[in-house]
Amino acid sequence: MKEERRKHLRNLALWTWSWVASLAIATFGPIFIWGDHKFLTPLAILINLIHGGCMMLANRKLFNHYDELERKIHLEALGLTLGLTVIVGLTFSLLDQTNLIPFDAEIGVLVGFIGVTYMITLLINTKRYR
């Protein structure tokens, strides 16, 4: 059972790092490697999209391996993260549109917020249910 979980975790880690690498290539390739190439940039973006889908499937396989308590902990953390992300993301965008913040609302800030929120809610739920 533990070996199967490790297998799922390794698979998720590989797809996650592959997605991150393909995102970096799709982001910086047009700037530093191939310039304004009409074929390579869309191809890199498509490859990134495919790797993201594979990462999601690997995540799903891991979640399906969890027991009921682990699923409850993660599902609640995901639900809270989604709700907070929508509220904070739209508020962040509105602050940018109305020029109430001195910088542009970048998606990277929201992605960081998602990661931190999920980790915190996961830690709180794990402590609460165990």
Give the pLDDT confidence of 30-64 residue by residue, as tens digits: 999 999 889 999 999 999 999 999 999 999 999 99
Cα separations (Å) of 2 from 5, 8, 37, 55, 62?
Answer: 5, 10, 46, 21, 12
The b/e string for 21-51 (b: 16+ C-beta within 10 A; e otherwise) is ebbebbeebbeeeeeeeeebeeebbebbeeb
- Overall average pLDDT of the 98-113 stretch: 94
Residues written for the chain: 130
pLDDT, position 74: 95
pLDDT, position 124: 97
Q: Please say if the pLDDT value at position 82 is more than 90.
A: yes
pLDDT, position 130: 81
Distance, in Å, from the CA atom of 33 to the CA atom of 31, rounded to the nearest integer, reads 6
Give the pLDDT confidence of 112-124 residue by residue, as tens digits: 999 999 999 999 9
Q: Please say if the pLDDT value at position 94 is more than 90.
A: yes
Distance, in Å, from the CA atom of 79 to the CA atom of 83, rounded to the nearest integer, reads 6
Distance, in Å, from the CA atom of 58 to the CA atom of 25, rounded to the nearest integer, reads 21
